[in-house]
Structure 1
């Protein structure tokens, strides 16, 4: 049996949604007898590459930038705000790294031209280097494309990049339609594949709970999980909770994640006097115990891809209420069949719907039961594995 030889590329293995999905694919495909997979990662950063240990041991991993190179750049980056010399040389280091990567990729692809049948640009960050790769190329769209339209120059550049891929994957139906309508991607070139999810893994996952966290889980609470960045709408969530608190809500709000808006959130929590009620828990590699014991999972993002955290929460038995942002929430929650969707940015409606859901335990249970019966199978790794093999059969 001839094996299909696949090179999976991704920039990093940070604690992020794309990286989590990548490891799900690699774990689900690692033992397929008709596949031979190599993993190519741009940055060798042991401190930040949290998901490195989750890649199956039988898959070879190749790094483009060395650990020393990444460490040196990060040190310069940290010093540039306090020293003009480092501020001046930092752009030069970035320019050198781009040249280094281009040369490295050219040499690597030349030396391994007969080793691979297809290249998957999983986070679509190979844009500047696609011409170097003389193999069938697959690009993976993980996020809404509407933001690409804000700048005509960037829009045109992205359209040209999409044209360089032989096939494109969109991770939800809305995203597929965006690619077709906004960037004129032909129907035959694009395929919708949901992010894979090892459903049984939720039950097998070791519940790693630090000793100081156990007290938190004894409380009644609602939970949010994401990186703490502007687009995730976590300030909206604190505003919404503040209004609920005025109405006498007893449940606490736990916000899991780290990121640049954490200081803003801390300030807002103090301004509202919500210390001890809204808790910034920090980053947790395994958020499942926090999801499982919550009453409701809340999500106020202004843009998504396909939010895997919804699946994790619902498989763990906790229903979701979310902004109906482009794209992804509707693919999981349907038209309010499996959870609650609220118009994006409508904090008042979100507050009203969340309050009603907190008081209605039967409705919370029904959302989960219906999701298990009618929708969950579409995200099963076994189902998606078949779609993946169809995807990579380019030229067959």
Structure 2
């Protein structure tokens, strides 16, 4: 006898530290267990997991790359027969799009993490990636595509020719119980922070360049690791900033470092919907960002929880102003995001989507 619950599998390439991994695993863990039987399917290795998943079934295919796990993923779907499979991140979504043709009784949903056309142009100027060239085809195989921001939805509709009825915006939920700081007095010297992997997309070199132009003392905490670590620290040495910057490759105490900081610095060229700046605001630490597609304009309310500038020079000028006149109220900063992105608000949006697509297919 078939259960009244919807059997849903959330698939990820791995459980390494990252925004997509954290959000997807959080949704899988926390959707209503009276309505859903949730499984978290990981293509990668259990030994690499950065997150401790509780209260749901977790399946590891123990493959190093998504391409190595295609047959195992096919076998899992054939055996488990999930009602819904939700996949995330570009390369895995390409695979599940193809597999959807073999399993017409399963609803396939993709969740993307970037404004893909902007990312492709930045990573390969003038030469779109294979995924980008095939993008309009692969996403049309899905029953629904979850976009993290309105920028992402507009990009899919315009540049990938995806029908709007296939697209839905669901912002990322706040996944931790952050405590709000109550001190409105900034540190002396002022303390900055960025939490992001060290790659081209995140624009660390723009932040370092701006910091090299300011006239006051500061301390900058850089949390994250990645392929551009050597280049970034060469730039730091070039500008003689080494004694002002601390690097933490990975920590489970991000909230503590955000709490101790006065301003979050965001230099990305594109985002999906940046978890780190939501979390920074949640503890009461405002954000200074360079304008970019991917939800930044949705999250930041000017002079309430931060500010947005257009380029590096404006960034350094804004840092000068903020240092001389720091006037952010941590409670207001926190409430600006908690009233929009709390799990109590976001999780029901996921549940409503899953129930809606299921009922339209099977009822």
What's the TM-score once normalised by structure 2's chain length?
0.86
1:109 deviation in Å?
2.0
1:180 pairs, out of 157, 163, 166, with 157
Is the contact between residue 146 and residue 169 of structure 2 (CA under 8 Å) also seen in structure 1? yes
Q: Which residue of 2 aligns with 1:120?
A: 86
Measured against aligned partners, the alpha-carbon deviations of 1:72-130 in whole angstroms (never above 9, x if no partner) come to: xxxxxxxxxxxxxxxxxxxxxx7xx84x53332332222222xx211001224141343
Is the contact between residue 24 and residue 197 of structure 1 (CA under 8 Å) also seen in structure 2? no
- Answering whether residue 71 of structure 2 is matched by residue 103 of structure 1, we say yes
Query: Aligned equivalents of 2:172 and 2:252: distance in 1?
Result: 19
Q: Which residue of 1 aligns with 2:344?
A: 382
Q: Which residue of 1 aligns with 2:128?
A: 151
Measured against aligned partners, the alpha-carbon deviations of 1:373-395 in whole angstroms (never above 9, x if no partner) come to: 45532211111122111211214
Is the contact between residue 222 and residue 295 of structure 1 (CA under 8 Å) also seen in structure 2? yes
Q: Which residue of 1 aligns with 2:50?
A: 50
Residue 107 to residue 267, structure 1, CA distance change in 2 (3 Å): closer
Q: Which residue of 1 aligns with 2:209?
A: 239
Matches within 5 A, 1:164-313: 164-198=141-175, 201-203=177-179, 220-244=190-214, 247=215, 249-313=216-280
1:336 deviation in Å?
5.9
Note the residue ranges of structure 1 that are not aligned, 5 or more in a row: 71-93, 205-216
Query: Aligned equivalents of 2:74 and 2:129: distance in 1?
Result: 30
Root mean square deviation of aligned Cα:
2.4
2:322 pairs, out of 335, 357, 369, with 357
Matches within 5 A, 1:22-61: 22-29=24-31, 32-46=33-47, 48-51=48-51, 53=52, 55-56=53-54, 58-61=55-58
Measured against aligned partners, the alpha-carbon deviations of 1:122-167 in whole angstroms (never above 9, x if no partner) come to: 2241413433341110000211122346428543411111001000
Q: Which residue of 2 aligns with 1:326?
A: 293
Query: Aligned equivalents of 2:97 and 2:61: distance in 1?
Result: 15
Query: Aligned equivalents of 1:282 and 1:102: distance in 2?
Result: 31
Measured against aligned partners, the alpha-carbon deviations of 1:187-216 in whole angstroms (never above 9, x if no partner) come to: 2211100101146x1139xxxxxxxxxxxx
User: Number of aligned pairs?
Assistant: 339
Query: Aligned equivalents of 1:117 and 1:383: distance in 2?
Result: 24
Greater relative contact order (Cα < 8 A, sep 6+) = 2
Query: Aligned equivalents of 2:151 and 2:96: distance in 1?
Result: 28
Greater fraction of residues in helix: 1
1:261 deviation in Å?
1.7
Query: Aligned equivalents of 2:255 and 2:336: distance in 1?
Result: 22
Q: Which residue of 1 aligns with 2:108?
A: 137
